[in-house]
Amino acid sequence: GHTVHVNELQSHSATHLSPTQFHNILQQHHPSSSSSRNKNNNGGEEKELVLIDVRNTFEHAIGHFLHPTNNAPAINPNTTTFSSFDSTFCAKNASSLANKTVLMYCTGGIRCEKASVMLKRRGVQDVYQLSGGIHEYVQQFGDGGFFKGKNFVFDQRVALSPSASATTTQQHINNEEESKTKNTIVGKCIECSTPYDTISGSILCTVCRDLILLCKSCQQSLLEYHCTRHSTWKHCYYTFLESFDIQSLQQQYVALQELLQVYVPPKEHKNVRKTLRKQMNKVKVRLEQL
């Protein structure tokens, strides 16, 4: 199943790495490190290093670790719910990860406890997790680490840059504006790709209610917002139908019917098809009112 039992946390959980240990492994794989050069010169075989971010997509979007060899963002599993991490990501990728070294991380380390079990029981054995998560890593390394962008936090601050996080233990930044200028913006508006990393609780996908990154300009130009997962629905799925005329509503209904045919077989897309049918009924009711 997709659940993790308490006894599995002891028998199958990943090896915990302190922020320093986690950082050192990344540093050792950086092309500039002496250990990396020596291995290349000696022709030594080493397992490929893989970084996995087990947080939500919007959290990964505004900040993530970069792979030391190529600066590529850590893998985003794109799971819609944490419980689906096993069925959607682990089931499809475990075989390709079996002979690699996996480093995973989350905000504070809690999600990794279960995520590592899900991956290890599918045959991936060389799995490590960042103890204390991004929170403790950026406190220690600030802007000097491999985490770039902002770390989403679950309070009124919403998101913090590495430098702002580091000030809680290292008073090397005394000015908030200086902290902002030092921060690297890794997020992008999902509509126009403009660099943008401001998360707002009011900017949600109209279909699934997930938080999304949408710049001010695109916010003003769109009637409603759609996440990347529902980008193909933006021409036919709206919460508020009052502003549409009969022709527009009829076009939406036809487009919803066409979308319904995409999600087959029905058994594997039960919830999605239910959502589409519900919207079709909503459009139909509105047409009858007009």
- Residues serving a catalytic function are 106
Q: Are 110 and 81 in contact (CB under 8 A)?
A: no
Task: Supply 157's token pair.
Answer: 């601050």
- C-beta neighbour count of 186 within 10 angstroms: 18
Give the span between the Cα atoms of 259 and 262, in whole angstroms.
5
Burial class (CB in 10 A: 0-12, 13-18, 19+), 218: middle
3-state secondary structure of 64: strand
Q: Are 228 and 190 in contact (CB under 8 A)?
A: yes
Rounded to 10 deg, the angle between the 270-289 and 246-262 helix axes is 160
**Between β-strands 147-149 and 63-65, what pairing exists: parallel, antiparallel or unpaired?**
antiparallel
Contacts of residue 125, defined as CB under 8 A and 6 or more positions apart, other chains included, come to 98
Q: Are 160 and 147 in contact (CB under 8 A)?
A: no
**Residue entry with tokens 């000015």:** 175
C-alpha distances in Å from residue 226, one per residue of 84, 248, 254: 21, 18, 19
Give the span between the Cα atoms of 29 and 37, in whole angstroms.
9
Rounded to 10 deg, the angle between the 133-141 and 19-28 helix axes is 70
